[in-house]
Amino acid sequence: MTLAQTLQRRHLAQVTPYASARRSMTQNGLWLNANEAPNTPSSMAADETLNRYPSFQSNALNSAYAGYAEVQPEQVLSCRGSDEAIDLLIRSFCEPGQDAIMITSPTYGMYAISAQTHGAQVIDVPLQPAQEGRMELDIAAMETALKQHSVKLIFVCNPSNPLGSCVSLTAIRALLKTVGEEAIVIIDEAYIEYAAASTAQPLNATTQWLADYPQLVILRTLSKAFGLAAIRCGFALADPSILEVLSKVMAPYPLPQPTIDRACTALSATGVAAMQLAVATTVQLRQSVSTALATKPWVLRSWPSVTNFILLQVENAEQIVAQCAQQGVLIRNQSQQFKGIQAVRISIGSPSEMQRLLEVLS
């Protein structure tokens, strides 16, 4: 029995996923098995075939991302953004009212929200201060919490949202060894391209661990560095046995065909090169904006960032957010993530947008 079969919700062992027309029959031919219209009357392009349901999983898309992430296609599950992958993991492995997830605050809010939505407990083991102003995993405290609670999933946002920094790969590997087969460890790498461009962490360092750690899941997205937030495309990278369980609770047609087509284009050699150029520009802008804002008297601290945003500790977050909003610049108050600390998060936009931000905050 695999780790995934052991940890999945008990009733899923007896569940056979819905056999959609595309999932049960994928060969080419005369498709009369899905109650589809024969064409798309409103289509303007001759090559559009929007009348057909997309595949449950696109071989072209999963193979393209597998090549990019340096994994095997069978280790890839494409989802409606990594948010869907978070939801699928909790629905698949946490029994409502019994099991828990573990988070390491400050962290991305959707882990806790998804868990609470499905009746799973949330165990928080906060990050601890480390060298160079970073925060690090508290492995000892996480191990203690794992023994005290029925934790099925451990979420680590790396690079961190909202901090903008990375925890060490050494700590992540230590966590995987500590957890063993007691739980699944999910590394959310939404901002990994920026970290790689900042030389903070190699792009595919953790993806190379999948063969050694069957309890590891890596979440990726095209929403950030690839600039494709509107098409809602993300990926779960994991042992095929885990992806098989997630497939049981996934919608029959998770990604629209236009999303698949745009994602494949983005993952082409030309698309990846364009992304890398854009990321390099963002990294340069982040450094210059961070330097400029660090001199402001109302900035008490600037967290080191390897992402496309910066986090600032300020005297009055609400006032600064309101001041910017009045002049048409929207930034985010992140004070709720910290105890007694006022903080704002600022995304790095275009050069002109950053110039406008500095003018507003001058």
| 3-267 CATH, one of 3.40.50.720, 3.40.640.10, 3.30.1360.30, 3.40.190.10 | 3.40.640.10
pLDDT > 90: percent of the chain: 82
Domain boundaries, the chain: 3-267, 271-360
* Per-residue buried b or exposed e for 63-99, using 16+ beta carbons within 10 Å of the residue's own CB: ebbbebbebebebbbbbbbbbbbbbbbbbbbbbeeeb
**Cα separation of 172 and 54, whole Å?**
36
Dihedral angle computed from the Cα positions of residues 224, 177, 103 and 130, in that order, rounded to the nearest 10 degrees: -80
When comparing pLDDT for 263 and 362, which is higher? 263
- Average pLDDT (106-122) is 94
130 compared with 313, residue with greater pLDDT:
313
| CATH for 271-360 (3.40.50.1980, 3.40.50.620, 3.90.1150.10, 3.30.450.20) | 3.90.1150.10
User: For the chain, how are helix, strand and coil distributed in percent, rounded to 5?
Assistant: 45, 15, 40
**Average confidence (pLDDT) over 178-186:** 97
User: Which tens digits make up the pLDDT trace of 194-246?
Assistant: 999 999 999 999 999 999 999 999 999 999 999 999 999 999 999 999 999 99
Picking from 22-26, 55-59, 157-161, 294-298, which range would have the lowest pLDDT averaged per residue? Answer: 22-26
